[in-house]
Structure 1
Amino acid sequence: MSQDYATTAPTREELDAMPGICVIEFGTSWCGHCQRAQAPIAAAFAPHTELKHIKVEDGPGRRLGRSFRVKLWPTLVFLRDGEEVARVVRPTDGAALADALAAVGLG
């Protein structure tokens, strides 16, 4: 799992049309909350090698995060066939992540 957040992101239209299950993680590499969340995220996602996980750098002027109404980092948006099914904000352990994975059918 990459520690870095991509500075380029897919468009909202691309995500809305994406088939299957995808998690978009909004945050920044320098954010303390984002750094602390990486271990629980990696542990929760490890058994799901088929899961598409896209880490996107968020901040002022970043339209994708605004389109998902992201307010705090990290925010993980769980999509199934382009539709938001679950959301986890600032995970500190695997429980909320497991619930979200179950909601998209990976539980």
Structure 2
Amino acid sequence: MKLDELVHSFHQLFQDKKSEGFMAWLEKQERGTFSFIQTFVQGILQDLSAVKLSIEQPWSNGPVEGQVNRLKMIKRMMYGRAGFQVLRNRVLYQWPLS
């Protein structure tokens, strides 16, 4: 199996919300040819219950992580350049969508 097919099949498991196919995918890749994928599988197996729940549940922390990323980017851009009030205004200002 080519690497792009392998990645697509992994992504498809999350799209289809099929946790039963996930275990079969892990077992197959554990015996696969890519050593870095085998390492990835070992990492997943260490926290298998959380990964299975992330497949089955509809919730996502993506919006929260997006806001955290935005805040960190603003802080990095302004480091040493302005005071807290300017940082506060920049964080709270909502850019208009075009």
**Which is bigger in relative contact order (C-alpha 8 A, separation at least 6)?**
1
Could you say which structure has the higher helix fraction?
Answer: 2
Q: Which has the larger radius of gyration?
A: 2
Task: Return the structure number with greater strand share.
Answer: 1
Same fold (TM over 0.5): no
TM-score computed with the length of structure 1 as normaliser: 0.28
